[in-house]
A and B are shown apart, each in its own frame.
Chain A
Amino acid sequence: MLRLKGGRLYDPEHGVDGLVRDLYVEDGRIVAAPGPEARIDSEIDLSGRVVMAGAIDLHTHIGGGKMNIARALLPEDHRADPVPAAGGMHAGCGHAAPSTWTTGYRYAEMGYTACFEPAMLPTNARHAHLEMGDIPMVDKGAYAMLGSDDFFLRLLASGSDQRLINDYVGWTLDASQAMAIKVVNPGGISAFKFNARNLDLDEAHPHYGVTPRQVIRALARAVHELGVAHPLHVHASNLGIPGNADTTLATMAAAEGLPIHLTHIQFHSYGTEGERGFSSEAERIADAINRMRNVSADVGQILFGQTVTASGDNMSQHRNRRHASPDKWVVMDIECDAGCGVVPFKYKDRNFVNALQWAIGLELFLRVSDPWRIFLTTDHPNGAPFTSYPHLIRLLMDRGFRNAKLDEINAEAAAHSQLRSLEREYSLYEIAVMTRAAPARSLGLSDRGHLGAGAAADIVVYRDDADREAMFEKPEYVFKDGQLVVRDGRVVKAVNGALHAVKPEYDKGIEKPLKDYFDRYMTVKMEHIRVSDDEICACGASKLIPHACKGRAA
């Protein structure tokens, strides 16, 4: 048994806010304080240290095809950032689109122990699992993308019973070994292929006649009725378009009270005021989130520098292609299942739009009062590479630092933003909520994201440093399932993470129409789509962690 002695614990799941307590770890789990007769094999003195559960990133593009396209598109990203092999770690490379191994090491070195890929196409699931299996150190999971696939749109257009839609969603989760359902530009990816370049929430799809609102309603209901823990994960319509805040608010309402998660909401909080017709609507969006208890969001903060945007939203990526820097881009269809767009991007602090985007993201963080419903993301790599999280945490925790940065950005954008007047500074407890407890709860990971007895021993120990960036950049210790894997911000032991997937109940009768559909229209058979439980470990994950779902009555 290992004793972690005298650390200051931040464990929001149990309301623990900076209490000094000992932690006991045995067989990869946190256990209750044993009696005096228990044998302590080793002990680490953590007095003065900050202790939290392993961090969880619930929206980070780390696998599933588009990152490979980004890697192929950006050889310069790899050349400029080589990482040599060292001490049991593989060599790697890449800043915005790092190689799989480097991704895992860098996440662990920041104290992350679980990452969730939010855009896995069911037809691409096998590749996504292979790629995620390749990522060491952290647990993984993926959200299956639905809402622009023809089978679903046909079901919806023909007015099918919700139960049939539920079965299809259940089958998709099961067959693709997914953790949740994501919808990207609802129906819009399909509409793009019918030459639509825009699709508003209540605009009919040019071929199927259904609206994005119907797509959201049907999927949110399916996810809810199947009993999947994580709400429908929505990348709303009109990404990046000035004035899209109205669409975002309407999207929240489209869930009709059912749980809904709006992702990278920074890209969806834009207004049209001012001389340049681009303004912040962060206040309105944040107010709506504060008001609507069924809504959660992650921010998708942008940070300045070179990155690459990779999204299933081919419509938006096609629109953004003219901003590509360096000037090259990819927009493609993937197996008629959805789409994909990869556009390299350089966010500049002197650029009015980029600077305002930066301020809007921070405003959202600071204006949403409940840290349980807003999550820390940069939508890696779309807003910035995930390695910028420590910097982002400092921006949230340190008003002086934030205002100093505000002085450096485009002056006009800074003047337009109300960021300077926001006095809030996140506390360590709130950071522990938004990066640990809240994502674990949102995903239904009952034994992660907290430090209670029975939890997996994913534990991170930080030196308490007034410079929060330095503090969160280099944890002193990171334990993964009880094993010491990182010491002083460097990986000391390479391990493989597990894969989380939900196992909903559904009627297997859906396979009959699906099989006919695949036989008639698709390039592969339905049976080829299914990724079996055995394959998950063959793909590289240490094990599959299934999560049962308790279906809810319609």
Chain B
Amino acid sequence: MSAMTLTLRAAPAGRIDMSGVLPETLGGRTAGDIAAQTVRLDGNPVALGDLFAVTPGEAGAALLIRAGSGRLDCLGKGMTAGTLRVEGPAGHYAGQGLRGGELLIEGDAGDCAANGMQGGLLRIAGNAGDWLGAALIGDRAGMGGGVVAVAGDAGDRLGDRMRRGLILVRGKAGAACGARLLAGTLVVAGGCAGAPGPGLRRGSLILGRAPATMPATYNDAGVADLSWLGLLRRHAEAILPGVVPDSPRARRHMGDLACGGKGEILVPA
């Protein structure tokens, strides 16, 4: 099956909103048809064909965006099925409201990736910006399902208000990692900057490296053998190997006690 390919003609002159450019909407359409699709450049309507050279592909095939750019926003926004591969970096809001399918970014992603994501897989080979897996602006709950796998680092407020799903980060996370987390599982192999988990209500934040200090609103609940860590590891190895620690033994900090304290931060014992 031949992939549809969009090849960026030149470095974008402004920010391009790629909403609607999805394998499910473009698959099986002719090159002319795809080229006529409207996207927005700095808010103004532009034909997709003016910005990208289009090679059509079969329905159901992957969509390839060649030589991505940090100025391509909303890649894979609202995607429900199929594969969208970006051969390079992505801009902001990548995988916003993703519901299914696979979004593969082979470079860095900007801010607010996977905001309001409900399902599917988002893979970022480089670093992710701030607010990864957080809520859509104004919403009370963030990511509600699916898996995000980041091979590099993540920025500040990783998983803010996240409610369900799994985020795996092989590198480090920025400040306020797991802030206001409602539920779900957040794994950061490289540890995080500053105090983790402010306002965390439930859910698990697993850090591969303990922070310099734990926030005062977390209670050290001692070292425990958590058999579910083994299950998680087995599940996560298939997605992003070496992120979940290989020992089920972890030091458990319960919190955030300022918000009910039903959540936990796990650090190596």
* Chain B associates with chain A: yes
Chain A contact residues, CB within 8 Å of chain B? 72, 74-76, 78-79, 84-85, 91, 328
Residues in chain B near residue A85, CB distance under 8 A: 43-44
A75–B43 CB distance below 8 A: no
Smallest Cβ-Cβ distance to A77: which chain B residue: B138
Question: Is B216 close to A, CB under 8 A?
Answer: no
Closest 8 CB pairs of A and B: A75-B138, A85-B43, A75-B137, A75-B139, A84-B43, A91-B43, A75-B136, A84-B40
A79–B136 CB distance below 8 A: yes
Residues in chain B near residue A84, CB distance under 8 A: 40, 43-45
Given contacts A75-B138, A85-B43, A85-B44, 15 further A-B contacts (CB under 8 A): A72-B138, A74-B138, A75-B136, A75-B137, A75-B139, A76-B138, A76-B139, A78-B138, A79-B136, A84-B40, A84-B43, A84-B44, A84-B45, A91-B43, A328-B140
Residues in chain B near residue A328, CB distance under 8 A: 140
- Smallest Cβ distance from A492 to chain B, in angstroms? 18
Residues in chain A near residue B43, CB distance under 8 A: 84-85, 91
- Smallest Cβ distance from B168 to chain A, in angstroms? 28
Q: Give the distance in Å from the alpha carbon of A76 to the alpha carbon of B137 in the complex.
A: 9
Residues in chain B near residue A76, CB distance under 8 A: 138-139
* Chain B 13-51 residues near chain A, CB threshold 8 A: 40, 43-45
Residue contacts A-B, CB under 8 angstroms, 18 given: A72-B138, A74-B138, A75-B136, A75-B137, A75-B138, A75-B139, A76-B138, A76-B139, A78-B138, A79-B136, A84-B40, A84-B43, A84-B44, A84-B45, A85-B43, A85-B44, A91-B43, A328-B140
- Smallest Cβ distance from A190 to chain B, in angstroms? 32
Residues in chain B near residue A72, CB distance under 8 A: 138
Q: Give the distance in Å from the alpha carbon of A91 to the alpha carbon of B138 in the complex.
A: 19
Size class of the contact patch on chain B = under 10
Q: Give the distance in Å from the alpha carbon of A75 to the alpha carbon of B40 in the complex.
A: 21
Smallest Cβ-Cβ distance to B38: which chain A residue: A84
Smallest Cβ-Cβ distance to B139: which chain A residue: A75
Q: Give the distance in Å from the alpha carbon of A526 to the alpha carbon of B138 in the complex.
A: 35
Residues in chain B near residue A79, CB distance under 8 A: 136
Residues in chain A near residue B139, CB distance under 8 A: 75-76
- Which of B138, B139, B140 counts the most chain A CB atoms within 10 A? B138
* Chain B 122-150 residues near chain A, CB threshold 8 A: 136-140
Residues in chain A near residue B137, CB distance under 8 A: 75
- Smallest Cβ distance from B165 to chain A, in angstroms? 20
Chain B contact residues, CB within 8 Å of chain A? 40, 43-45, 136-140
- Which of A72, A85, A91, A328 counts the most chain B CB atoms within 10 A? A85
Contact count A vs B, C-beta below 8 Å: 18
Residues in chain B near residue A91, CB distance under 8 A: 43
- Smallest Cβ distance from A98 to chain B, in angstroms? 15
Residues in chain A near residue B136, CB distance under 8 A: 75, 79
Q: Give the distance in Å from the alpha carbon of A74 to the alpha carbon of B137 in the complex.
A: 10
Q: Give the distance in Å from the alpha carbon of A91 to the alpha carbon of B44 in the complex.
A: 10
Residues in chain B near residue A78, CB distance under 8 A: 138
- Smallest Cβ distance from A97 to chain B, in angstroms? 12
Residues in chain A near residue B40, CB distance under 8 A: 84
- Smallest Cβ distance from B120 to chain A, in angstroms? 19
Q: Give the distance in Å from the alpha carbon of A78 to the alpha carbon of B137 in the complex.
A: 10
Smallest Cβ-Cβ distance to B17: which chain A residue: A84
Smallest Cβ-Cβ distance to B116: which chain A residue: A79
Smallest Cβ-Cβ distance to A78: which chain B residue: B138
Smallest Cβ-Cβ distance to A74: which chain B residue: B138
Residues in chain B near residue A74, CB distance under 8 A: 138
Smallest Cβ-Cβ distance to B42: which chain A residue: A85
- Smallest Cβ distance from B73 to chain A, in angstroms? 14
- Smallest Cβ distance from A326 to chain B, in angstroms? 10
- Which of A78, A84, A91 counts the most chain B CB atoms within 10 A? A84
Residues in chain A near residue B45, CB distance under 8 A: 84
Smallest Cβ-Cβ distance to B19: which chain A residue: A82
- Which of A72, A76, A79, A91 counts the most chain B CB atoms within 10 A? A79
- Smallest Cβ distance from B97 to chain A, in angstroms? 9
- Smallest Cβ distance from B117 to chain A, in angstroms? 15
Q: Give the distance in Å from the alpha carbon of A84 to the alpha carbon of B40 in the complex.
A: 9
- Smallest Cβ distance from B179 to chain A, in angstroms? 19
- Smallest Cβ distance from A94 to chain B, in angstroms? 12
- Smallest Cβ distance from B231 to chain A, in angstroms? 34
- Smallest Cβ distance from B155 to chain A, in angstroms? 22
Q: Give the distance in Å from the alpha carbon of A321 to the alpha carbon of B97 in the complex.
A: 29
Q: Give the distance in Å from the alpha carbon of A78 to the alpha carbon of B40 in the complex.
A: 18
Q: Give the distance in Å from the alpha carbon of A164 to the alpha carbon of B28 in the complex.
A: 77
- Smallest Cβ distance from A91 to chain B, in angstroms? 6
Residues in chain B near residue A75, CB distance under 8 A: 136-139
Q: Give the distance in Å from the alpha carbon of A75 to the alpha carbon of B141 in the complex.
A: 12
Residues in chain A near residue B140, CB distance under 8 A: 328
Q: Give the distance in Å from the alpha carbon of A100 to the alpha carbon of B44 in the complex.
A: 20
Residues in chain A near residue B44, CB distance under 8 A: 84-85
Q: Give the distance in Å from the alpha carbon of A72 to the alpha carbon of B137 in the complex.
A: 10
- Smallest Cβ distance from A85 to chain B, in angstroms? 6
Q: Give the distance in Å from the alpha carbon of A76 to the alpha carbon of B138 in the complex.
A: 8
- Smallest Cβ distance from B99 to chain A, in angstroms? 15
Smallest Cβ-Cβ distance to B135: which chain A residue: A75
Q: Give the distance in Å from the alpha carbon of A72 to the alpha carbon of B138 in the complex.
A: 7
- Smallest Cβ distance from B223 to chain A, in angstroms? 41
Smallest Cβ-Cβ distance to A84: which chain B residue: B43
Q: Give the distance in Å from the alpha carbon of A79 to the alpha carbon of B137 in the complex.
A: 9
Smallest Cβ-Cβ distance to A328: which chain B residue: B140
Q: Give the distance in Å from the alpha carbon of A78 to the alpha carbon of B139 in the complex.
A: 12
Q: Give the distance in Å from the alpha carbon of A85 to the alpha carbon of B17 in the complex.
A: 14
Smallest Cβ-Cβ distance to B137: which chain A residue: A75
Q: Give the distance in Å from the alpha carbon of A75 to the alpha carbon of B138 in the complex.
A: 5
Q: Give the distance in Å from the alpha carbon of A75 to the alpha carbon of B97 in the complex.
A: 14
- Smallest Cβ distance from A388 to chain B, in angstroms? 25
Q: Give the distance in Å from the alpha carbon of A328 to the alpha carbon of B137 in the complex.
A: 16
Q: Give the distance in Å from the alpha carbon of A74 to the alpha carbon of B140 in the complex.
A: 11
- Smallest Cβ distance from B182 to chain A, in angstroms? 16
- Smallest Cβ distance from B140 to chain A, in angstroms? 8
- Smallest Cβ distance from A82 to chain B, in angstroms? 10
- Smallest Cβ distance from A490 to chain B, in angstroms? 15
- Smallest Cβ distance from A413 to chain B, in angstroms? 34
Smallest Cβ-Cβ distance to B138: which chain A residue: A75
Residues in chain A near residue B138, CB distance under 8 A: 72, 74-76, 78
Q: Give the distance in Å from the alpha carbon of A75 to the alpha carbon of B139 in the complex.
A: 7
Q: Give the distance in Å from the alpha carbon of A78 to the alpha carbon of B140 in the complex.
A: 15
- Smallest Cβ distance from B138 to chain A, in angstroms? 3
- Smallest Cβ distance from B28 to chain A, in angstroms? 27
- Smallest Cβ distance from A171 to chain B, in angstroms? 39
Q: Give the distance in Å from the alpha carbon of A79 to the alpha carbon of B116 in the complex.
A: 12
Q: Give the distance in Å from the alpha carbon of A85 to the alpha carbon of B44 in the complex.
A: 7
- Smallest Cβ distance from B235 to chain A, in angstroms? 32
- Smallest Cβ distance from B46 to chain A, in angstroms? 12
Q: Give the distance in Å from the alpha carbon of A328 to the alpha carbon of B139 in the complex.
A: 11
- Smallest Cβ distance from A258 to chain B, in angstroms? 45
Smallest Cβ-Cβ distance to B40: which chain A residue: A84
